Structure 1
Amino acid sequence: MRISVIGCGYLGAVHASAMAELGHEVVGIDVDERKIAQLGQAQPPFFEPGLPEILASGVASGRLRFSTDIADAADAEVHFLAVGTPQQAGRPTADLRFVDAAFEALLPHLADDALIVGKSTVPVGTAARLAGRLAEAAAHARLAWNPEFLREGYAVKDTLEPDRFVYGVESADAASTLDDVYRRAIDAGTPRIVTDFATAELVKVAANAFLATKISFINAMSEIADATGADVTALADALGHDARIGRRFLNAGVGFGGGCLPKDIRAFAARADELGVGASVAFLKEVDEINLRQRQRVVDLAVATLGGSVFRKRIAVLGVTFKPESDDVRDSPALDVAVHLKGLGADVIATDPAGVENARGRHPQLTYTTSLDEALAGADLVVLVTEWRQYRALDPAAVAVQVAAPRIIDGRNVLDPVAWRAAGWEYHGLGRP
């Protein structure tokens, strides 16, 4: 099929490349000339495992091209809207300016029976509003809402082999067109839920709200564990054996971040307030507060570990991205901890396999290195805040000879306390005795 993807940020670049990998003819559209130039040369503008290969394959085959001119999307049968919906400045609500602008720019270029497919995470009611506008401007075109469920670090797999499809549609033919787009996964048995606009919009934000709640729940339990001497990791293991609960996302630590979960739960609560049902998701505000409190807990633990002050102490911060296998530092708990420690007068040296340049762009006041050895050298305290594989695999005995003092805060509870203490380390986790 002929497909356009409007917006070539994280979601759009992955989606466009994956659609070309499925054999479709794809044009990616974005107003950012530099980004389009990079993509056109098969150079991903961000780190995502698997993307360089399918991007290069699509560009080399001629199935995938990029443009800053939305008129180049005119012959597409299906148009995916994949622009960002950031949080509004100073408000919890989602900023829909980019969605609305992309939608309006596309209207004059719609072919007969074209299908516009929303991928962006939007407040419930957005699709119905856009459908009304579409009926006024291009009655022959159709709209569907098809939320994405990408995990950074696994986005290519999640696009090519998703665990489910959700179609918000007003007609059976729109669902049929989406089946044609995703034919390979549909034929492989991927479940599909065909529903209305509002439900499709809610699925994405409800999923994020549930995951955020689960993470904040176990982090709240880690606070109780610290107060009682219990072990939150053993607690999570025991809870996880209950099939109704499950073990995934029950990992206590410094909390969640990134460009989706934090802003999505805030926008969800704000939209519920607008609809007059804010009380139904009032707990999300506490979920958000618990999450932010985890960052301060790590900072406070660092201060306590160093005898009440971090001033002029050399602290190695391992990780600046919000999660491993990503270079994304948006609302990163790791970077937030590093900045707070720097603000208290610590000599912070932060390292990360992929996120250093992005972090430097946001917080140039920190000292960065891509060398783990350089970060560890002479450290008075090591703080692990992003659980990259190489950090999880550190040999405590080998690291002990690199640092000035063997003290470590495991902000993700991913290290073995017994092994680290046996190697002479003062080990601190969150909710671990």
Structure 2
Amino acid sequence: MRVMVVGSGGREHALVEALAASPLAPEMFAAPGNPGIARIAQVADIPVDDLVALRDFAKENSIDLTVVGPETPLIGGITECFWEEGLKVFGPSRAAARIEGSKVFAKELMRQAGIPSADFEAFDREEAALAYLATRRDYPVVVKADGAAAGKGVTIAHNRDEAEEAVRASFAGKFGAAGERIVIEECLEGREASIFVVTDGRDILPFLPAQDYKRAYDEDEGPNTGGMGAYSPIMWMEPATYAAILEDIIRPTIHHLSLIGAPYTGLLYAGVMVTETGPKALEFNCRFGDPETQVILPRLGSDLLEIMIAAGEEDLAGREVVWSADKTVCVVLASEGYPDSSHSGDEISGLENIPAGVYVYHAATEEEDGRFHTAGGRVLNVVGTGPSIIEARARAYAAVEQIHFEGMQYRTDIALEAIELEDL
């Protein structure tokens, strides 16, 4: 069997590694991949948004299943592009991927389906948004670019001035076409969690939730990023809360998408805020999370490839997933200046000294003459595993101390609160 993963980050490295471990012994391909992925898969230098080239490569190389990592090709219609040639894809259709491609679409879906979420208003003109803010008395508010913005299109504005600044920045092109429409919504208070399910459009197979860290610096300071770390399991989430999320948010979402003619197949990711009045949906993504995937897949005891095949064949009913009891902690190593700017070309040392119980996923690296260099942004994902959060965290940070590149930055507080909860 031949399997291709589309993408080039740490999430895709984790996906390739998990799929390669299948008892089905697939021959692995990746496009465009990265130097870490290239050690376990054949890579093809094809951009993720060149859907025709990806399709042609899959057809020419007799790829049996293509797994799409990032949102861009899904929103762009890669699934339909492949279907036209009879090729199988793990990922939702373009119509269903609107749930990430448009915040306005997602919020209206939540309202129509009765899914608990924050109150909101949508705007396609700066003047109208500013006029709305002039009438609003309750702050903070959340200003979101309508389109996908690599996790950076969300601003929590603590007062009217900050909200107006976020509105003007979005309409001025800070997020490109993604910011041509915006959503302004109430700011929910509580604890945020990342929820993942595989679905065949009807049945769901819940994966483990994860806790991620969006802010660039310790103590949740600094700008939003694509994610600076994660851990699993979520120590504070009660089983009843997780069950409520599945029943009140996930299932109604999948059901409503089917009702409007956009059945969802693949991995659905919900960002959820657990408030005093119960869980509320923040947003949806149409793909695996990054870096949450890097802490979930090392705990997966079931065959990921078999699960993906079953989803495509509408055969998830009655299936269960086996999980390791180990805990996982991921620390993201980013380049100097991230996320506002990004340095590249710095040599990476220490990767040969990684201890047992640690995974290192390449996210933005280049290789030249057997040496790795940074390629900007989030460079490496270091994942520690262990029987407890404290041990998994210790392994992750011990490995981080072995790695070096100029300007390397990372958070030092990943999973600290989980240790405190674990000790209770």
TM value normalised by structure 2: 0.29
Whose helix fraction is larger, Structure 1's or Structure 2's? 1
The higher-RCO structure (CA 8 Å, 6+ apart) is 2
Larger C-alpha radius of gyration, 1 or 2?
Answer: 1
